[in-house]
Chain A
Amino acid sequence: MNKKWLAAAMAAGLTVALSACAADADSDTSSAPASSGDSAACESVTEVTWLNTIKIEIRDQFLGAVDEYNAAQDCYEIVIIDYPQGEPFFSVVTPLYERGEAPVVMTALQEVPDMAERVMDWTGTDLAALAAPGSLDGANIGGKQVGIPVTAEAFGLLYNKAVLDEAGVDPEAIQSRADLEAAFEAVEATGRDALHFSGLWWSLGAHLTNVYHTTAGEDLESKLTVLDGLADGTYSLLDDPKFVDWLDTFDLLNAYTTDSATIADTDYDQGVANLAAGDVGFWFMGNWAEPNLLEATPDGSFGVMPLPTGVSAGDYGNDSISVGVPFYIMIDEEQSTENERNGAQDFLSWMLTTPEGQALWAGPIEENGMNFIPMYEGFTVSPSTYMSQDIAKYIAGGKTLEWMNSYYPAGLQDVYGYEGGQPYYDGVLDRAGYASVLEGAWVGAEKTWR
């Protein structure tokens, strides 16, 4: 018995010294949470379940990181629960809760408000304190910090630098929609299609529509007011000049896109293939595509630039890319034990604050890293690819727009994409119909942003 208390005291001391774990005051049983790397303090291994692997693109890398963490300490074992990636969040999570097998850790975005009552509050924890300013906002529900950010992702017009160089196009010189059209013409003059405009439901439903919502006003509050109006059913999209600008841009993209872009779920692969091979100059997509592009063309350079919807050069948003948090990490509080919660936080601390973890979190794909853009202070590793440097430039210059799509209620982006965007993309729906689908999607929505 004596030894056990001694070990616990040592562990407590180390915890205070390293301040890497979020230890609760009323710890109940034997194993006090040890800081990462200290393997002497735990009697038994606590299993901590994690639902899926954040994104399927970095699945192998994430599994590798989990293995490394599990091997490096004896207190906790992170176990991944796999589910088909396409399944809606609730179809997976609800049965798990019903059977008393709720995962300890889950990642989500639009479902964050719905999960708010079941998960832990991160307020006051060390990791939350390290998070970049503003990155916590999307998961702050009524004062409770429901999750912490995974990474920042950005989307806009990806471009193939070699193609643009050949066409004589300078991305930074594109300041208005007219400039963009001229750029498309220049690329076409080199004998290729100008761009790949994906009809993927989530690209049209979440990302493209965000370009409208995030330029609908010039600060967050005015953008949220638009959402208020839509939820109240009082906002008429077609009367909003910014919406009309955005629709005109949609039409522009449709006019210059390659024929091989479709609404199929496999269109993503086609987009990667087209841009990587230089068959098109631009692709409206996000930086998560970069590893795929580099895999196809290892010595290529692919950057990202804004999608200017405004007609004139100084219009709001023309010079900025949409940057946001794609997933928040939530820890269940309803069915997990304190040990499990400590374990989850211990793993995350290891990933986000230790050199080994950081190298895997933000390091390049070739070195088994996940290439995430760090959102926490103290990162010594930063992504080094061409696109991430592009993104860093925009962030440093303050040229970023919020992801208003993180405020979409669960299921709304499906309606936006499947029932509005895709038919409009295929020319099956007209402007009035499209606007009415978009407005209709908000009816009865709860204002979780208030």
Chain B
Amino acid sequence: MNKSRQGKRILFGVGAFLSLVYVFPFVLVVLNSFKERMSIRADPIALPEDWLWQNYVEAADKMEYFQSLTNSVLITVSSVIAIIVTSSMLAYYLARTKNRLSSVTFLVLVASMIVPFQALMIPFVGLFGNAGLLNSRAMLVFFYVGFGVALSTFLYHGFISNIPFELDEAASMDGASDFMIFRRIIFPMLSPVTATVAIVNGLWIWNDFLLPSLVLSQDNRTLPLRTYVFYGSYTSDYGLAMAGLVLSVVPIILFYFIMQRQIISGVSAGAVK
């Protein structure tokens, strides 16, 4: 019994130490966000002398915080919903239709997951730019669906394949249309995967930098783009920059604490194909 308790203590110690290592960058950034520029340079690990809350006010103003936060939320939520709807439906079709075309389509979708964005970034801008379509948040959502549908369909497909076809057949015998079967029977059963799809896509869209930088105009900018405002080519205002970083990170961390259970189960479900 003693051994097990000792073992537990050791494990706890290791865990605590690693947690500290994991968290210390955040701690430092938060501490320094209250300092003024020259003091950060002088001693970056000291506690702040004065707690300059105005750094946050100034940073929020300079990065147009509430506006970019709203943009990020709008775009992320809309994109995630759109991806869930389209991918689940496409996956249902591909999983239930066993023909050459659907196998090839599935293969193409999977293959597209390894196409790096850089390979199509410039032609993408050229094609859509000439059509005058690179200018709104709605179009950005449209693009995210295009880029996100492959992985999400893949995740749904595996899950749907494990749902016995007999369920579909039984419902069909009862007179339900394809769409009804999907909506009433299949989709509710997909909750675990939907959680995964929501988390995985939500995270990368929220944090995405490159695509919004190419598509969005001034007033529509998202949070990651705005954080660069403090980094000049010659010199940076570190106090403001740290405050800006904290402001960028707080929303997603809050969201995590609220939705922790769903997020973890979502990621777990993705690990079981």
Contacts and interface: CB of A to CB of B under 8 A. Distances in A.
Interface of A: 56-57, 59, 79, 81-82, 84-86, 94-95, 97-101, 202, 266, 268-269, 272-273, 288, 292, 296
B37 to A, nearest CB: 9
B236 A266 contact: yes
A79 B217 CA distance: 12
B235 A268 contact: yes
B228 A98 contact: no
Contacts of B235: 56-57, 268-269, 272, 292
Nearest to B130: A98
B134 interface: yes
Nearest to A57: B234
Most B-side CB within 10 Å, residue of A85, A95, A100, A288: A95
A97 B126 CA distance: 9
A56 B233 contact: yes
B134 A95 contact: yes
Nearest to A268: B234
Nearest to A86: B233
B112 to A, nearest CB: 23
B135 A94 contact: no
B129 A84 contact: no
Contacts of B125: 94-95, 98-99
Given A98-B126, A268-B235, 16 more contacts: A56-B234, A82-B218, A86-B231, A95-B129, A95-B214, A98-B134, A99-B125, A99-B128, A99-B129, A100-B129, A101-B217, A268-B234, A272-B235, A273-B38, A292-B234, A296-B38
A202 B214 CA distance: 26
Contacts of A95: 125, 129, 134, 214
A95 B124 CA distance: 10
Given A57-B232, A95-B129, A273-B41, A81 B218 contact: yes
Contacts of B133: 99
20 contacts: A56-B235, A57-B232, A57-B234, A57-B235, A81-B218, A82-B229, A84-B231, A85-B232, A85-B233, A95-B125, A95-B129, A98-B130, A98-B134, A99-B129, A99-B133, A266-B236, A269-B41, A273-B41, A288-B234, A292-B234
Contacts of A59: 232
B231 A85 contact: yes
A269 B239 CA distance: 14
B132 interface: yes
B133 to A, nearest CB: 8
A352 to B, nearest CB: 25
B44 to A, nearest CB: 12
Nearest to A289: B234
A101 B126 contact: no
A185 B85 CA distance: 74
Most A-side CB within 10 Å, residue of B41, B130, B234: B234
